[in-house]
Homo-oligomer: A and B are copies of this chain.
Amino acid sequence: MTAVIGIDFGTESARAVVVDTADGRVLGSGVSVYRHAVIDERLPSTGATLGAEWALQHPGDWLEAIDASVRAAMASAGSSSADIVGIGIDFTACTVLPVTADGTPLMQQAALAGQPHAWPKLWKHHASQPQATRVTDVAAARGETWLPRYGGRISSEWMLPKALQILEEAPAVFAEADLIVEGGDWVVWQLTGAFARNACAAGYKGLWHKGDGYPSDAYLQALHPGLAGFYTGKGGGQAVVAPGGRVGTLTPAWAARLGLAPTTAVGAALIDAHAGVLGSGATTPGALMLILGTSTCHLLLAEREHLVPGIAGVVEDGIVAGLFAYEAGQAAVGDSFAWFVDALASADVQAEAARRQVSVHDVLTERASALRPGESGLVALDWWNGNRSTLVDAELSGLLVGATLATRPEHIYRALVESTAFGTRVIADALRDGGVPVTRIVAGGGLTRNRMLMQIYADVLGLDLEVAGASQASALGAAMLGAVAAGRAAGGHATIEDAAAAMAPAPTERYHCDPAAHARYDTLYRLYGELYETFGRRSTLMHQLRALR
């Protein structure tokens, strides 16, 4: 049997899986929690207090996690090292760190250990919002052609705002850095001794385009003179490798440390959510992948590039080499249900949950399941944490309309669930209107366990909904990257599509769209659309409300 290892680097921990390349069977798995977790209060080195919206990580945690999670996975698999032909990884993004030319993180230099800007900035470090605003504004003023590819707005989470923050707030750190790199690329570099940028993160978070390359130097100079040459130096300059590409093989040291052969191939990294698409088998054009968790990430492959207004990113080679990957998002999904339970679940609902020893979500879902579409008389705008797609506006807020003295908690709970389904339908409609076909819906993530939610999504979207079979889809997708990096001759696969066809499990469940419910939801969706236009585009009321806080 030939096997590969996938390592999924999340926000709090890393998970490794050992997977049979022939059929995708998970032979073993292991998890390692990061020793320093998310560093958002004090620097471990000096105890220095971090500012608001800061979030850092320790790169040593990542290396420890490789060691621990892979060893645990191997042990639980019971496979011998000879079986493993490839390793793939996925990583949160954009998690970025400044390093020297040999890959040493600057925070490891004694002189810089107490400088927060020398540490890796985690994806959810949002303190570079002022820089992000300028990145967008200068691009908009100059009519940069790459800006519309990102829905017209650059996020504070991405590479350039974070690099600009380092330059402005810690110019010495910026000067000392030979490279500013993605965490995923840095881990692959450590494993192989070779550095390459992965096309997925470069495209989605680094403003790179396969045809046009990076933003121009003229733009960079306009943004900040100190950024001149950024993309031929610190922030670019190297090969960009498509998913499935091989960056190298394990260094002797890492081969020894993990007990694997030095011939083990290591693939280019992928962003964690995007790896989930591979693990879920949603690798055919037209399959819209929904990763339903606290927020929702929407990913879709297509054969052509279109500029779709309000869609956050389209990247060639972003998930599968040769295809265009579209990304969109909803900022609060599970988060808004959790908010409702936390802030507003009434005593009787709480008491019933306690008595029956089920969750408050279960009680509300059970009651809400008994309602017909529209019966609550409510419709909501799912903007409790702003709107990512298609409005790209973090200042928008939640709205509920239709309440009466007869409105019960389960009515509101269902309206919140429905509102997130409507938000997804807006995204699907925007893609279709923009010329990108949407013909399948594949769902993954924790919320797929909620059967009412799944059925509502099928009914609202008017398509059957497949629940992805993989329980650890991102780690399995990472393993596929390892399998393709190893190649068919070594017992892996020739392409991502081949790997997915062989290794992705069949859907565990399929929810059929009920035509009668769909018709009722068409009416409700029209009303949702009226609110969407009114508060998202026509009126500035939500912005004015926020300004008053």
Give A400 to B398 CA distance when docked, in angstroms. 8
B-contacting 9-mer, from A120-128, A212-220, A337-345, A428-436:
A337-345
Assess whether A399 is in contact with B401, with CB atoms less than 8 Å apart: yes
> Which residues of chain A (315-369) have a CB below 8 Å from chain B?
332, 335-336, 339, 342-347, 350
Distance of A339 from chain B, by nearest CB (Å)? 5
> Which residues of chain A (375-394) have a CB below 8 Å from chain B?
375-379, 384-385
B-contacting 9-mer, from A10-18, A107-115, A169-177, A405-413:
A405-413
> Which residues of chain A (535-549) have a CB below 8 Å from chain B?
535, 539, 541-542, 544-546, 548-549
Residues in chain B near residue A535, CB distance under 8 A: 401
Give A526 to B530 CA distance when docked, in angstroms. 21
> Which residues of chain A (515-549) have a CB below 8 Å from chain B?
520, 523-524, 527, 530-531, 534-535, 539, 541-542, 544-546, 548-549
Q: Is A143 an interface residue (CB 8 A)?
A: no
Distance of A303 from chain B, by nearest CB (Å)? 38
Known contacts being A346-B345, A531-B541, A544-B527, is A405 close to B377, with CB within 8 Å? no
Give A531 to B400 CA distance when docked, in angstroms. 13
User: Which of A345, A405, A409, A534 neighbours the largest number of chain B CB atoms within 10 Å of its CB?
Assistant: A405
Q: Is A226 an interface residue (CB 8 A)?
A: no
Which of B335, B400, B544 has a CB less than 8 Å from the CB of A403? B400
Q: Is A211 an interface residue (CB 8 A)?
A: no
Known contacts being A523-B544, A523-B548, A527-B545, is A397 close to B409, with CB within 8 Å? no
Residues in chain B near residue A47, CB distance under 8 A: none
Give A199 to B288 CA distance when docked, in angstroms. 69
Known contacts being A346-B346, A375-B549, is A332 close to B405, with CB within 8 Å? yes
Assess whether B539 is in contact with A530, with CB atoms less than 8 Å apart: yes
Give A344 to B378 CA distance when docked, in angstroms. 15
Give A541 to B403 CA distance when docked, in angstroms. 13
Residues in chain B near residue A508, CB distance under 8 A: none
Q: Is A46 an interface residue (CB 8 A)?
A: no
Q: Is A374 an interface residue (CB 8 A)?
A: yes
Residues in chain B near residue A397, CB distance under 8 A: 377, 401-404
Residues in chain B near residue A398, CB distance under 8 A: 401-404, 407
Known contacts being A527-B545, A530-B539, is A400 close to B402, with CB within 8 Å? no
Give A546 to B375 CA distance when docked, in angstroms. 9
Residues in chain B near residue A399, CB distance under 8 A: 399-403
Assess whether A347 is in contact with B345, with CB atoms less than 8 Å apart: yes
Give A539 to B539 CA distance when docked, in angstroms. 14
Give A409 to B346 CA distance when docked, in angstroms. 11
Which of B339, B344, B527, B534 has a CB less than 8 Å from the CB of A405? B339
Assess whether B343 is in contact with A545, with CB atoms less than 8 Å apart: no
Distance of A464 from chain B, by nearest CB (Å)? 24
Which of B343, B404, B524, B531 has a CB less than 8 Å from the CB of A346? B343
Residues in chain B near residue A549, CB distance under 8 A: 374-377
Residues in chain B near residue A548, CB distance under 8 A: 374-375, 377, 520, 523-524
Residues in chain B near residue A342, CB distance under 8 A: 346
Residues in chain B near residue A339, CB distance under 8 A: 405, 407
Which of B344, B379, B541 has a CB less than 8 Å from the CB of A545? B379
Residues in chain B near residue A520, CB distance under 8 A: 548
> Which residues of chain A (484-541) have a CB below 8 Å from chain B?
520, 523-524, 527, 530-531, 534-535, 539, 541
New A-B pairs, 20, CB < 8 Å, besides A344-B346, A531-B541, A534-B539:
A336-B405, A339-B407, A343-B346, A343-B407, A343-B409, A344-B344, A345-B346, A345-B347, A346-B346, A377-B546, A377-B549, A397-B401, A399-B402, A399-B403, A400-B400, A400-B401, A401-B535, A401-B541, A520-B548, A523-B548
